[in-house]
Chain A
Amino acid sequence: MAVNYGSKRIVVGAHYGLRDWLAQRVTAALMAVFTLILLAHLILSKGPIGYDLWAGIFTTQWMKALTFVIIVALLYHVWVGMRDIWMDYIKPVGTRLTLQVFSIIWLVGCAGWSIQVLWRV
């Protein structure tokens, strides 16, 4: 194992943000593919787009599972993005922490609501 003490100690604990950087790109790619799937559903359909067609997209269990994954991906993606914004523009530690906590509450609340809606269909 590499030496991680004394003068060789890694002085940052955040992995230089590589994990979040990668996660943001992976989740972005997932959401882009999901957008294509939704678009395909709507474009390849026949007739006017009404309630039956729209709600029908989300009735199958695999589509529910996929949408659930996308909601979680979105949650993480937005967290990384909003944290970047707060870290760049908000310097006072207390205000930044407050905004970060607000972001988490906002996102987890939104995720819970959307998951509930998803399984209501």
Chain B
Amino acid sequence: MPGVTAAQRPSTVVEIGGLPIRLGCDDPSFIALLVERYAGYVSASDQASFDFEIELAPPGTESGDEDLSVAWNSGRWLIERGDFRAEWNPSTARGRIKQTINPYSLDSVLRIVHTLLLARKGGFLVHASSAIRNGRAFLFSGVSGAGKTTIARLAPPDAALLTDEISYVTRQNDRYFAVGTPFFGELARVGENLRAPIACVYLLAKGPENKIEPVEGADAIRGLLGNILFFARDPEFVNLVFDSAFEFVSRVPVRRLTFVPNAAIWELII
């Protein structure tokens, strides 16, 4: 992977999933905002694999009703939404982002960039909360309202919460790992910057009693694919992530977790 030399303008390096990305901006107060936002994920090193320059647009210039678009064009990814416009050239390891001062716009860009990079390595981002307990990671996957944040809130003190919203799944050889991310949901808490092998993915369902059932084959694939983040409408990218989901399900158990929202549910997570 190409390295990038240190930039002269104010910058910080945010490292998620072992991938350091330098974020530079002429406005030092925005860099300070990013250092605060990504606390726990700011690298002590100035070395980065990718370099993004951020241009701040004046407040009020965003268009809130514009849908997200991620497209490959002339050797670079173009990533656009009402509140930002980004372009990224993977071969030069450089990109530009134009956005307002809202750091959550940058969150979206980073999620997409990581999704595109993970696809080439057999990993993906998935709508799931995740936590490490006894050295093993557990994912709790579901659509909005399924209980991702609820499960995270109920986690016992010995569980390290990686995220309550978007789980980061990487592949190393034939093993899959969950990695902490700063991407949070309702819990509004940055996940711990840790990683552990994934022991199980639970597909969340709310019900009258706590229950765990195995999910196999096509049902497991459907359950997982329904929650994986597909940003790019690009056949090659979709094929990579589609294949990754099949590989993942062939190596990691998938179960349906029906639960009532109380802490007793964690007694079943072993």
The finding on whether chains A and B are genuine partners in a shared complex, rather than unrelated, reads no
Please list the residues of chain B having a beta carbon within 8 angstroms of any beta carbon in chain A: none
